[in-house]
Structure 1
Amino acid sequence: MGKWNSKMLLGVTLATAMLAASACGGDSPAGGDSSGPKKVVFWHAMGGANQKVVEQLAADFNASQNKIQVEAIYQGSYDDLLSKLKTTMDTKDGPTLVQVYEIGSRFMIDSKAITPMQKFIDVDKYDLSQLEPNITGYYTFGGKLNSMPFNTSNPILYYNKDLFKAAGLDPEKPPKTYEELQQMADKITKSGKAVGANFAIYGWFMEQLFANQGAEYVNNGNGRNALATESLVGSEAGVKTLTWWKNLVDTKAANNLGRKTDDSKKAFSAGQVAMILESTASLKGLVDNAQGKFEVGTGFLPKPAGAKEGGVIVGGASLWMMNNRPDDEQKAAWEFVKFLTSPKEQAYWHINTGYFPITKKAYDEQSVKDNLKKFPQFQTAVDQLHQTKLNTATQGAVMGVFPEARQIVEGAIEEALNAKKTPKDALDGAAKDISAKLQQYNKTVKP
């Protein structure tokens, strides 16, 4: 998420105030009954350019019928939104529909404050097979879809084809394994034109590199068979990954620019590093920024040679229905959810944000076909998603303390890269801290 300055916030506040003022006017759209359309409040965390896209989707839905009026309200970052939501759960002041990042899923289920989407799906006989199974898989627990996927991304390898060529590497062959990446990055650094690679210290990357080796991140089937009680971040998959990462930095094949993904992206766009890991949602921006300077290549996430079959976990967020709102309001919000999952709206969402379409038929839309011609790099992301084998590792870990766990892992990566601890000691320490937090959290969960 981008940082918000006070000017932008003021704009949002004014826009919200204006919306509130116009809502008080009580004009019901033509054709609405005397009490006016059913109002649905939708809280989201899409800032910057994506905020306009969300608002456009809500406006299009409102214009498409006259019984329901959706009000989309930006609530800051994912963390900010979740904090605000927690304060409204026992009141009548919260939203009907809310966007929560994927790592908030366990908390949302345990909160007992939601109506599972499966309830509306069953009543409506909504056909779930029209959605991407590797995306719905993440949000499915015990055979039930609890929330509707919305913005979905996964990480891919971005590389500078010109720097590959300059170092005598084949620009059409990105590295597939840790070992290949190390050799290629080393060659690029030694060419003297740029540093071979950079990975931002972001916990999401570690989670993904586990899944790509078919390795689970927490016990009890990645927290899907029962509540997770233990972190597995110190296991072989973790130690292997962090040792490789540290070795890249120690040998100058990669540099360490810290935790901010923005710093990693800027270095890539400036031609200072040849390879980075980044979300598929950054593709358009990275390709646009490189225009006239160099050609951007994309590859699958690397894995250790000989690793078990794996794949990527979907990142992003999904839509949750709050159960403290009246039934008719929840039903109205479900109509909006169905609208958002239609191929046409998913095509619009995908082209304007870079997130994946969650609906298979969106790929048949001409606009999506045209967009893939313009950004052929996105095909990598689509192929990587479709080639992922769905199992508990690639479905992704679920734990109620995920945001804290991610921070702890980032601290451990820093300790190892800065030679304060060995990769094994750093990750063992992180696993111990996360396991303690998990056990604390589990005591608070009502059975």
Structure 2
Amino acid sequence: MKKKVIASLILTTLVSSLFVGCSKEKDTSASAGGKTTEIVFWHSMGGVGGESINKMVEDFNNSQSNIKVTSQYQGSYDDAINKMKSAQQGNAGPDVMQLYDIGTRWMIDSTYATPIQKFIDAEKFDISSLEPNLLGYYTVNDKLYSMPFNSSTPILYYNKDAFKESGLDPEKPPKTFDEIKEISQRLTKKDADGKVSQYGYSMAIYGWFVEQLIAKQGQTYANNENGRKDKATNVDFDKNGSAVKVFKLWKELFDSGNFGNFGRKTSDTQNAFIAGKTAIMIDSTSVLNSVMKGINGNFEVGTAFLPKLSEGDKGGVSIGGGSLWIMDKKDEAKQKSAFEFVKFMVSSEQQVFWNKSTGYFPVTKKAYDSAELKETLTKYPQFQTAIDQLHESPLESRGALLGVFPEARQTIETNIESMLQGKMSPEEAVENSAKTINAAIEKYNKTNK
């Protein structure tokens, strides 16, 4: 699965609580009995993300003496799910697990986890300072199942220097795809032999982008209110016309010769943008830090909202990334300790560190009041775009829940590739995608009643 991309939390715990928030003093109040609860945390963050998580876990362990968390990297999200399925047979899985957004329906149906709402209600824990659009994705039937952690949305990145060279206003990024069609022609450069040296626009062949462009139209991906009123029984995107608009647009841009197709790996499109081989790209907010470091001042980067397909579109964007789940291992002490750890991970101090280190949204709104985050936004004003876009997105755009989402994304991507290769029309690609995904949904629902 490709990667895929952010809010605060006021800590209202009782004096007797084991949790000490972000205090740097070590709490020994409950260690007199000599008992330390040990919990295991599975995550799927490699590189800088993994290093940051290890630092946060270390800080949590040093902040008190009652709980010890062991952090364990499990590979990709899909790898972690497969390991979870095997571990559950012997109740040997983790106590806390990071899982990608599209695994939400599957995790709920598996009953492997305890809804985090249980612990919020028991403590009367105040979640009002958490970002509502992030909470909204993981809330089903008014119950919060997991805690948002690494959250991101797609934004438009553009090369301001390339805009200036092409006679375009670098302070006026495209707001619609009609504008992208127009300016990508001006931004595309060719060598003397006619070979394109810089494309006007690019985006990876990524199912997440299709979902986002459907949401941007204010349309649903699946029925039953995107699988939130009840389990989805089929997709909606083939009936409401939203996917056909996206596929037609994709094909039109590709056929124009001004669209750089660098395949399914988002990192390949990122590298093309960094190298100046494409002037505009769409990608996750979570890659802003790595993009800026890669460019290293070679040109000025601008960011903008995800463009609209039509001027009148009223939709917004949905979050990507992942959340933290408290697993049900029938051990109340470990579950309570897991909740203390989860609260620490989404506290304002930790979320400021997380954002600065990785580029994911702070989960807590209080984080934006910190001098450190204000300094980061001053250094990287491009990230303000992501914050503004998140806040302006209606809750209705929060995205669908499907038990077969990983398979659905791969299906979409396969059909887009076939369409670009001229093997099928946009209409046929959408129809074929819907047929395959609907069959997978039907099979899943029969198995997971």
Please give the TM-score of this superposition, normalised by the length of structure 1. 0.91
Q: Distance in 2 between matches of 1:269 and 1:291?
A: 9
- The answer (yes or no) to whether the contact 2:302–2:382 under 8 Å persists in 1 is yes
Residue by residue over 1:320-343, the C-alpha shift from the partner in whole angstroms, topping out at 9 and shown as x without a partner, is 111124011000010011111211
Q: Which residue of 2 aligns with 1:89?
A: 88
Q: Distance in 2 between matches of 1:306 and 1:274?
A: 23
Which residue of 209, 234, 243 maps to 1:238?
243
- 1:198-237 map, 5 Å: 198-234=202-238, 235-237=240-242
Q: Distance in 2 between matches of 1:195 and 1:308?
A: 27
Q: Which residue of 1 aligns with 2:402?
A: 399
Q: Compute the displacement of 1:2 (Å).
A: 9.1
The one-letter code matched in structure 2 to 1:128 is I
Q: Which residue of 1 aligns with 2:257?
A: 252
Q: Compute the displacement of 1:292 (Å).
A: 3.0
- The answer (yes or no) to whether the contact 1:2–1:48 under 8 Å persists in 2 is no
Q: Distance in 2 between matches of 1:106 and 1:334?
A: 21
The one-letter code matched in structure 2 to 1:423 is P
Q: Distance in 1 between matches of 2:71 and 2:237?
A: 38
Q: Distance in 2 between matches of 1:34 and 1:132?
A: 38
Q: Does 1:363 align with 2:382?
A: no
Q: Does 1:329 align with 2:334?
A: yes
The one-letter code matched in structure 2 to 1:114 is A
- The answer (yes or no) to whether the contact 2:103–2:403 under 8 Å persists in 1 is yes
Q: Distance in 1 between matches of 2:79 and 2:330?
A: 21
The one-letter code matched in structure 2 to 1:216 is T
Q: Distance in 2 between matches of 1:50 and 1:353?
A: 6
- 1:312-323 map, 5 Å: 312-323=317-328
Q: Compute the displacement of 1:35 (Å).
A: 4.9
Q: Which residue of 2 aligns with 1:299?
A: 304
Identity of aligned residues (%): 49
Distance change >3 Å, CA 146–CA 380, structure 1 → 2: same
Q: Compute the displacement of 1:444 (Å).
A: 1.1
Count residues in correspondence.
419
- The answer (yes or no) to whether the contact 2:289–2:359 under 8 Å persists in 1 is yes
Q: Compute the displacement of 1:305 (Å).
A: 2.1
- 1:22-61 map, 5 Å: 32-33=31-32, 35-61=34-60
- 1:26-425 map, 5 Å: 32-33=31-32, 35-189=34-188, 194-234=198-238, 235-391=240-396, 394-425=397-428
Q: Distance in 1 between matches of 2:305 and 2:105?
A: 28
RMSD over aligned Cα atoms: 1.6
Q: Which residue of 2 aligns with 1:442?
A: 445
Residue by residue over 1:246-304, the C-alpha shift from the partner in whole angstroms, topping out at 9 and shown as x without a partner, is 11110112021111111101110000100111110100111122223111110110112
- The answer (yes or no) to whether the contact 1:194–1:271 under 8 Å persists in 2 is yes
Q: Distance in 1 between matches of 2:153 and 2:227?
A: 20
Question: Unmatched 5+ residue regions in structure 1?
Answer: 4-28
The one-letter code matched in structure 2 to 1:131 is L
Question: Unmatched 5+ residue regions in structure 2?
Answer: 4-27, 192-196
Q: Distance in 2 between matches of 1:314 and 1:31?
A: 38
Q: Which has the higher contact order (CA 8 A, sep 6+)?
A: 2
Q: Distance in 2 between matches of 1:403 and 1:299?
A: 28
